[in-house]
Structure 1
Amino acid sequence: YQAARDGGIPTIRIGRRLLVPRRALEKLLEATIPSDIKEPSKQS
């Protein structure tokens, strides 16, 4: 909640609810993950 209050996480307030838009969160996470880390391969 502190990061949302400080503007570190993009949020939308609807009534008493504090929502984090999925695309905005994904974009934030992509910007903070180093590019040399690859996604784990999915094995079936």
Structure 2
Amino acid sequence: MKALARFGKAFGGYKMIDVPQPICGPEDVVIEIKAAAICFTAQT
């Protein structure tokens, strides 16, 4: 599956990477995100 990972602290230091599918425990759930956004004006 795809994940957004941060590399360094510089602006634009994010990359889409492939990561293994998570494994659920007996009391866990996995949710599927259809869309997401990042507001760069809120960064500190």
**Interval of TM-score (by shorter of Structure 1 and Structure 2):** under 0.3
TM-score normalised to the size of structure 2? 0.24
